[in-house]
Amino acid sequence: MSHYVEAGNLRIDASLHALVGEEIAPGTGVDAAAFWQSLGEIVADLGPENRALLDKRDDLQKKLDDWHAQHRGRAIDIAEYRQFLLDIGYMVPEGGAFQASTMNVDPEIAKVAGPQLVVPVDNARYALNAANARWGSLYDALYGTDAIPETDGAERRRELNPVRGARVVETAAAFLDETAALAEGSYADVTEFALEQAEGARVLSITLSDGRRTGLADPSKFAGFKESGGALSGILLRNNRLHIEIQIDRDKPIGRAHPAGINDVILESAITTIQDCEDSVAAVDAEDKVRVYRNWLGIMKGTLETTFDKGGAKLTRKLNADRTYTDPSGEPLTLAGRSLLLVRNVGLHMYTDAVTTADGGEIPEGFLDAMVTCLAAIHDLKGDGSLSNSRVGSIYIVKPKLHGPEEVAATVTLFSRVEEAGSSATRSRSASWTRNGASPSISRNPFARPASASFSSTRASSIAPVTRSTASWKRAR
């Protein structure tokens, strides 16, 4: 049976209370007692609306069930059905145009199109693997998957299959031809990469097997390089804002066998990852929530590590460092070594006994997620660690399964209250947006109430951040 600690007119599982007070809050400038007081106020003020929204879902579901039961076996008249959905409030009339302003949004969300992963944050190994999946070996991906058919001697084997290996090199060269084409010839014919000086900048000079010298068809795709011992060891290309690193190492078996010394081609891949507290995890009690929050804290502080056995050897996994290069003008260039991370909180329908009201009632789990995941993210925003997630000082929270404008409005209110709860601890701006049914709340530093963001809905209700003041989380001086 859980042991509870009373704080903020709430009953908090002792292990969760200790996690917040001893591990998450220290270093944030946020007082743990004020944190629980603010959560208690949010539960008291917004809890009834959350329940009312769920009751409305149940009412809509009953009306839908009854309608389908009454029309069983009949063809559905689309116009009639649409009117029914409007009449019961399942659909709402489309309103006028609206605007939602954002600021301080990282380019991985604002400008760059690329893969996104979803990973259960309660599993440290998986969470780290996903965070580190920003960069991956094209050679490994081609060799180890069915992207290359296992025909004519090219089957996958534990030991290197030279036939399959040759096809990997051939396929990678074709990929480079497509994404960063040469002015003449093919990457399959390259025997040497070199740098030359032109108009105050380095340019890529490439020698082909017939002795011709060429360069990139689009020289702007040359983004940087690496050198080791005075020799060129890496070439950085850019295509559609994503990067490709050609690694050169003639001392390794693969590079030694390649005419130009190419040992691997590394692709920038999963540019964002959702660390999931919801669908992909089974966090059903306080012990589970503590594990979820502790892993998220470790990621936000850049300290999460895990050790595991693989093939009889002990391996330690941790967050990858950033990648460093020299750009064509000779200036240092640093690229993120990890995916930009979002955290998915649970939906409105989830309740938890990890924290209860004073009389023992479960609270909306999404309220707890919002407060704790934002508190942990302050460590990233303060920039005290060697690694960072957001480079513009933002937190990205995915709020899933919002059914209609009223639920979106309730979510905006929730995150406005979370921001207000620590408005004197940090400064921020926030906005809300919807993508594929999920509404991530984006904050510039957590907690502070939006100073100028305005929201108006195209649907039935207006969406506006609340302005009610709440207890400050900042420690009294």
Helix (H, G, I), strand (E, B) or coil at 255: helix
Contact 444, 104 (CB under 8 A): yes
Least confident of 125-134, 317-326, 455-464: 455-464
Phi-psi group of 71: left, alpha or beta (phi > 0 → left; psi -120 to 50 → alpha; rest → beta): alpha
Q: What is the DSSP string of 319-372?
A: PPPPEEEE-TTS-EEEE-SSPEEEEEPP-TT-EEEEEEETTS-EEEHHHHHHHH
pLDDT of residue 281: 87
Name, in order, each residue with C-beta under 8 angstroms of 134's C-beta and a sequence gap of 6 or more: 268, 269, 270, 271, 320, 336, 337, 338, 339
For residue range 323-361, what is the model confidence (pLDDT) as tens digits? 999 999 999 999 999 999 999 999 999 999 999 999 999
Higher-confidence position of 435 and 372: 372
Q: Which residues on neighbouring strands pair with residue 351, listed in sequence order?
A: 364
Q: Report, as an integer, the average pLDDT of 20-42.
A: 95
Q: Residue 259 is encoded by which pair of tokens?
A: 């005419």
Distance CA 427, CA 432 (A): 17
pLDDT of residue 1: 54
Among 436, 408, 448, 442, CA closest to 98: 408
462 has a pLDDT exceeding 60: no
Pick the most confident of 219-233, 302-316, 427-441: 219-233
Q: Report, as an integer, the average pLDDT of 284-289.
A: 93
Distance CA 412, CA 407 (A): 9
E strands in 365-413 = 394-398
Among 149, 151, 187, CA closest to 170: 187
Q: How far is CA 210 from CA 166, 170, 185, in A?
A: 21, 18, 10
Q: Residue 60 is encoded by which pair of tokens?
A: 């809509």
Distance CA 12, CA 8 (A): 9
206 has a pLDDT exceeding 50: yes
77 has a pLDDT exceeding 60: yes
Q: Report, as an integer, the average pLDDT of 172-180.
A: 98
Strand order of the β-sheet with 430-432 is 116-120, 272-276, 340-344, 394-398, 441-444, 430-432
With a pLDDT cut of 90, the percent of the chain lying above it is 79
pLDDT of residue 46: 98
Furthest-apart CA atoms within the chain: distance in Å: 83
Q: Residue 74 is encoded by which pair of tokens?
A: 């009949």
Q: Residue 463 is encoded by which pair of tokens?
A: 């969406």
pLDDT of residue 438: 42
Residue ranges and CATH numbers for the domains of the chain are 4-112+272-303+339-444 (3.20.20.360), 134-268 (2.170.170.11)
423: pLDDT confidence band, cut at 50, 70 and 90?
Answer: low
197 has a pLDDT exceeding 60: yes
- On average, the pLDDT of the chain sits at 88
Which H or E run contains 119?
Answer: strand 116-120
